[in-house]
Structure 1
Amino acid sequence: MKYVVVTGGVMSGLGKGITAASLGRILKSRGFDVTAIKIDPYLNVDAGTMNPFQHGEVFVLKDGGEVDLDLGNYERFLNKELTSEHNITTGKVYRSVIEKERSGEYLGKTVQIIPHITDEIKNRIREVSDKSESDICIIEIGGTVGDIEGMPFLESIRQLHNEEGENNVILIHVTLVPILDVVGEQKTKPTQHSVKELRELGLHPDMIVGRCEEPLNNKTREKISLFCDIPKEAVFSAHDARDIYEVPLYLEKENITDILVNHLDLSNPERNLEDWQKKVDNILEPDKKISVSLVGKYTELEDAYMSVIEALKHAAAEKNCGYEIIWTDAENLENNPEKVKKLEKADGILVPGGFGERGAEGKIRAIKYARENQLPFLGLCFGFQLAVIEFARNVLGLEGANSTELEEETPHPVIDLLPEQKEVDDMGGTMRLGNQITVLEEGTLVHRLYGKDKVKERHRHRYEVNPNYIEEIKDSGLNFSGRDLEGRRMECLEIPSHNFFIGTQFHPEFRSRLEEPSPPFLGFVNAMLDEENLDKKTGEI
């Protein structure tokens, strides 16, 4: 197994995850089988209970693992499904070691950071790598070099490097190269200090990727090479890209793969990024454009909806179409009903997943507008549930219809708690999570979009459509076109009389890829590209 370790210096948010994912993409384009591991030094066991404002979206893996959003980038760039084992957290490591100590596995020894914690970390890395049967494993160390919580992980990497050998481990350090407005010069001092911290921990970077606004100039590369003791050709520029999918193309142009495969003593086949380049060209230079109103309560933080944005981008790129997101604050729409008219500026309305009462009524107003005005609509998870509530209230006339999540004493609980959730007390990892099979009704719109009878998509929810209301809802014109294998749980809905009105209890965005766009999103984009619709809204086409 060959290991590519990516660390970050100076500050968080530099783009280690995109760098790691991009390295995986270009290695994959050379024919290597690549897997990835994200190490998060926080004490949480997983990301499931984290506030999106602090950590962005919670990405759900096929086995139900709730993880950091960087795992989503790995899957999208590698076009590969990962599992919860690919996310190692301090919480997971310490819990495992303490459980082993309690069971007497350490035979009376004093349990310490070294060797017990570091051994646990290395074992987890090796187990994931071995199970994947890949050629190369990319490991991203979360946080910033110097953070106290990251020390055991960096020590583990130092040991791994010594144990696996020079030609089997390569360390890449992503660091900030700022430009001071006063002098207009690229400054290398932050990089020098960050590398110094690494070396004090016994780690020496083999390659440095400089994050900067503009491409690194020759003088900057020479200075980093001199003070950080690495060859000049091992200093790479990760300057601002127009889109994240352009980053692999930037790095490949700098021949980063040649340095990687030479260091790891691998063969060096020809690059093959032509199809990737075509999709990126479609993103950057589209023939036409659509606008989507995304109605949510975390609209101030785009990372909270990263997978939704990427899935929309994938579908738009497939149609050589640009897109604009009109960020619509659900709470603002709830408190100011007259603002619902602003939705007419959009070519479609998307209500993503979410939880809780705040902003729910604003989302329902947006769904009603889409339904009554024949505007293409896509509702995901909570958006699916709210579409049922809106229909029950305004078409069936069930006054006060709601979800018991939002109103326990609602007279019409059209959305209710899953039966197996009624006795659940713990919040972490206890929802209906991960891949589930949905059976699609033949002849329906969602069946045509997927082109198959059964689909496997990822879930993250505690509530579902109340079976007591299903027939009444169907008789009034809303069809549940997808159900679980037992036929008890409603998974998809659509309104046949509408030009495009679809909701999914699952999260199709989690399995969308640039090379393989999600069918519901592709259908949503196609509906917005309707020639008559675009002529009316934007005058384009």
Structure 2
Amino acid sequence: MTSPSTGLRRVPTRVALVGDRSPAVRAHTRIPDIAARFPDVDLLWVASTAVTPADAEAFDGLWVVPGSPYADEDRVVAAIGAARRAGTPLLGTCGGYQHMLLEFARGVAGLRVRHAESAAGPDDVRALITPLACSLVGHCGQVDLQPGTLAADLLGERAFERYHCSFGLAAADAGPLVEAGMVVSGRSPDGDPRVVELPGAGFWFGVAFQPELADTQPHPVIEAFIGAARERAARRAASPTAPRGAAA
């Protein structure tokens, strides 16, 4: 079978679900149904205590799922960084989005920052991911998309999405990340970041909401991510020198 958008032959695709799987996390319980809609794609759980930077090469895509704080935040952030540098399709939803922001702030913007859920650490390491002024746990909220971005292509001018978070990036703290090349492509009506992407970096996409909870599946964000992973799998299959690791 050939992808109509790229002309690449479709081959088996492997996607890592990075996070600590739990029946108490509603988004996790929705993933098997989502996976069933992509029978040619293997979605494999990789715990935060087991994920490594090598998984950015071993898999065709990394989906960093909700459920933070992760048991091993440092390993998750390291894997996110490896995926960004390798151009591996990367999707972060809710907690995954928050840790993509942390990695970008540290690895690209050169900031000494932490998640407010983490230990305080030295005085010069400030919290970048902080409690939201109003918790979004269990809420559906409006997202305004910036024209000309991938987010707008996928979601239109405005979307209403389901959340289950109480931490995020404040608009006042986004400046250094934007200066370093990140695009805030979706915002709340109050202007706080809700969607981020990196133009020209393959598929690097983070959302504060949980597309796993959408009534209609696959959600456009998930479908686009899976499409990017399929394309990477096809390109690597066509190149005998492309590295590919063993199954996790």
Question: Given the two structures, how large is their TM-score scaled by the length of structure 1?
Answer: 0.40
Q: Out of 363, 370, 395, which is 2:83 matched to?
A: 370
Structure 2 counterpart of 1:478: 182
Aligned to 2:126: 412
Deviation at 1:466, TM superposition (A): 3.1
Say whether residues 1:496 and 2:199 are aligned partners. yes
Out of 496, 519, 535, which is 2:238 matched to?
535
Residues 1:471 and 1:519: Cα distance change in structure 2 (over 3 Å): same
Give the 3 Å change call, closer, same or farther, for CA 355–473 of structure 1 in structure 2. Answer: same
Residue equivalent to 1:439: 144
Matched to 2:106, the amino acid is: R
Distance across 1 between alignment mates of 2:44 and 2:24: 13
Identical-pair percentage: 24
* Contact persistence 1:347–1:534 (CA under 8 A): no
Deviation at 1:357, TM superposition (A): 4.9
Query: Which residue is 1:507 aligned to?
Result: 210
Aligned to 1:454: 158
State yes or no: 1:331 paired with 2:49: yes
- Equivalent positions of 1:304-383 (< 5 A) are 305-314=28-37, 316=38, 322-333=40-51, 339-383=52-96
Partner of 1:26: none
Which residue of structure 1 lines up, in the alignment, with residue 21 of structure 2?
Answer: 298
Cα deviation digits, residues 189-217 of structure 1 (max 9, x gap):
xxxxxxxxxxxxxxxxxxxxxxxxxxxxx
8 Å Cα contact 1:299-1:328 kept in structure 2: no
RMSD: 2.5
Q: Which residue of 1 aligns with 2:219?
A: 518
Native 8 Å contact 1:312 1:521 kept in 2: no
- The one-letter code of the counterpart of 1:526 is G
Q: What is the distance in 2 between the residues matched to 1:341 and 1:299?
A: 24
* Deviation readout 1:355-412 (Å, 9 max, x if unpaired): 225222221111111100000011000000000000111111113x111112345622
Q: Is the CA contact 1:398–1:412 (under 8 Å) kept in the aligned structure 2?
A: no
Count of matched residue pairs: 228
SS of the aligned residue for 1:398 comes to coil
CA contact (8 A) 2:48 2:70 kept: no
State whether residues 378 and 501 of structure 1, in contact with CA within 8 Å, keep that contact through their aligned partners in structure 2: yes
Question: Structure 1 residues 389, 477: closer, same or farther in 2, change over 3 A?
Answer: same
Structure with greater contact order relative to length (CA < 8 Å, sep ≥ 6): 2
Which amino acid in structure 2 is aligned with residue 476 of structure 1? A
State the distance in 1 between where 2:158 and 2:43 align: 31
What is the letter of the counterpart of residue 222 of structure 2? F
Match of 2:104 in 1: 391
- Name the CA shift for 1:504/1:302 in 2 (closer, same or farther; >3 Å): closer
- Measure, in 2, the Cα distance between the counterparts of 1:297 and 1:366: 14
Deviations 1:94-146 (A, max 9, x none): xxxxxxxxxxxxxxxxxxxxxxxxxxxxxxxxxxxxxxxxxxxxxxxxxxxxx
Cα pair distance change 1:292/1:357, threshold 3 Å:
closer
Give the C-alpha shift of residue 327 in structure 1. Answer: 2.3
- Secondary structure, in 3 states, of the residue corresponding to 1:433? coil
State the alpha-carbon separation in 2 of the partners of residues 419 and 369 from structure 1. Answer: 32
- Could you say if the C-alpha distance between residues 436 and 299 of structure 1 is closer, same or farther in structure 2, counting changes exceeding 3 Å? closer
> Which digits, 9 at most, give the CA deviation of each residue in 1:397-454, with x for residues without a partner?
113x111112345622111111246xxxxxxxxx53221110011111111122x100
The 1:454/1:373 distance shift into structure 2, 3 A limit, reads: same
**Greater Rg, structure 1 or structure 2?**
1
Deviation at 1:352, TM superposition (A): 0.3
Q: Which amino acid aligns with 2:77?
A: I
Deviation per residue, 1:165-223 (Å, 9 max, x gap): xxxxxxxxxxxxxxxxxxxxxxxxxxxxxxxxxxxxxxxxxxxxxxxxxxxxxxxxxxx
Q: Look up the SS of the partner of 2:223 in the other structure.
A: helix
TM-score normalised according to structure 2 size? 0.83
Amino acid at match of 1:295: V
Pairwise CA distance, 1:342: 3.7
Superposed displacement of residue 299, structure 1: 7.3
Q: Say whether the 8 Å CA contact 1:413–1:466 is kept in structure 2.
A: no
**Residues 456 and 420 (structure 1), Cα distance of their counterparts in 2 relative to 1, 3 Å cut:** closer
The whole-number CA distance in structure 1 between the counterparts of 2:75 and 2:215 is 27
Q: Deviations over 1:320-362 (max 9, x none)?
A: x5111232121133xxxxx421441211001000122522222
**2:40 partner letter:** G
CA contact (8 A) 1:374 1:500 kept: yes
1:178 aligned residue: none
Task: Report 1:159-174 matches (<5 A).
Answer: none
Paired letter, 2:164: R
Residues 249-260 of structure 1 mapped to structure 2, 5 A cutoff: none
